[in-house]
Amino acid sequence: MRTILVGIFLLFYGIFTIPMIAVEAVMKKIDPKKSAIIAQKCVRAGFKIILFLSGVKLTVKGKENIIRDGAALYTYNHRGFFDILAGYSTAPMPTAFISKQEIGKIPLLSWWMKQMNCLFLDRDDIKQGLATILQGIEFMKNGTSVYIAPEGTRNKGDELLEFHEASFKLADKSKCPVVPVAINNTDEVLEKHIPWIHSQHVIIEYCEPIYMDQLERADRKHIGKTVRDIIGEKVKENAKEL
């Protein structure tokens, strides 16, 4: 039933946002940053409705750690599609996600993500991957935060996958802080029951920011392991509340 409700909502959302496509196309030429914020507001509103229709109880912890006066690199553990909904429903504006290339082929969703300056990463093309990271660095230098999953793919196990250290170049080169983000239970909403959506309690916690310029060179080199340990510990702690 919840899957049907979400499907109906997406159909009507797509129809009623057609006029916004024209408005956004004009806005992006006039003021790209403002256009991205407007798009994020529209998507956030839609995602909150989807969370409601899906029966998701979203608990947000560590709101005080969200950077409001500049850009940051938000690094999260990747459990499922609802990671994006939880992230965009709570992230500051403007924020862009780095997603796998396949997401860029989904009608409507990919269009809105592009309006929000989201980047699509081809994990099999090193050259294209580097270009994506460089583009992300420019976004962050210009005040747009970036959400990225350093595991590189969805994790189906109990332990976090190794974090790709290259992901943290975004923060190092842009001189922006890293905010670890621990997410629990999003895979229980959809991935473990595909195609059916199940009502679940999802927890997202924003951990204390890590400022790269305050770290020793050796610590910056292994920042991925440090962030992985922080997120892993929070995930285990929050699992006790589910």
Nearest residue to 232 via CA among 152, 162, 153: 162
Question: Contact at 8 Å (CB) between 13 and 46?
Answer: yes
Size (the chain), residues: 242
pLDDT of residue 15: 86
Q: Rounded to whole angstroms, how far apart are CA atoms 47 and 10?
A: 10
For CA atoms 64, 203, 77, 129, the dihedral sign is negative
Q: Rounded to whole angstroms, how far apart are CA atoms 136 and 176?
A: 12
pLDDT of residue 101: 77
3-state helix, strand, coil in the chain (%, to 5): 55, 15, 30
**Residues paired with residue 183 on neighbouring β-strands, in sequence order:** 204
pLDDT of residue 157: 85
pLDDT of residue 58: 97
Cα separation of the two ends of the chain? 23
pLDDT of residue 23: 80
Domain parsing of the chain, residue ranges: 2-239
Element (H, E) at 106: none
The separation between CA 197 and the C-alpha centre of its own chain, rounded to angstroms, equals: 20
Separate counts of helices (H) and strands (E) for the chain = 9, 7
Element (H, E) at 140: helix 126-141
The DSSP bridge pattern shows strands 178-184 and 201-206 to be antiparallel
pLDDT of residue 22: 77
Query: Which tokens go with 58?
Result: 């979203």
The separation between CA 234 and the C-alpha centre of its own chain, rounded to angstroms, equals: 18
What's the alpha-carbon Rg for the chain, to the nearest Å? 17
Instruction: Check if CATH label 2.30.29 holds for domain 2-239.
Output: no
Q: Rounded to whole angstroms, how far apart are CA atoms 24 and 34?
A: 10
∠ CA 224-227-231, rounded to 5°: 135
Question: Contact at 8 Å (CB) between 116 and 136?
Answer: no
pTM of the model: 0.92
Q: Rounded to whole angstroms, how far apart are CA atoms 118 and 96?
A: 5
Counting as low any pLDDT under 70, the low residues of the chain are none
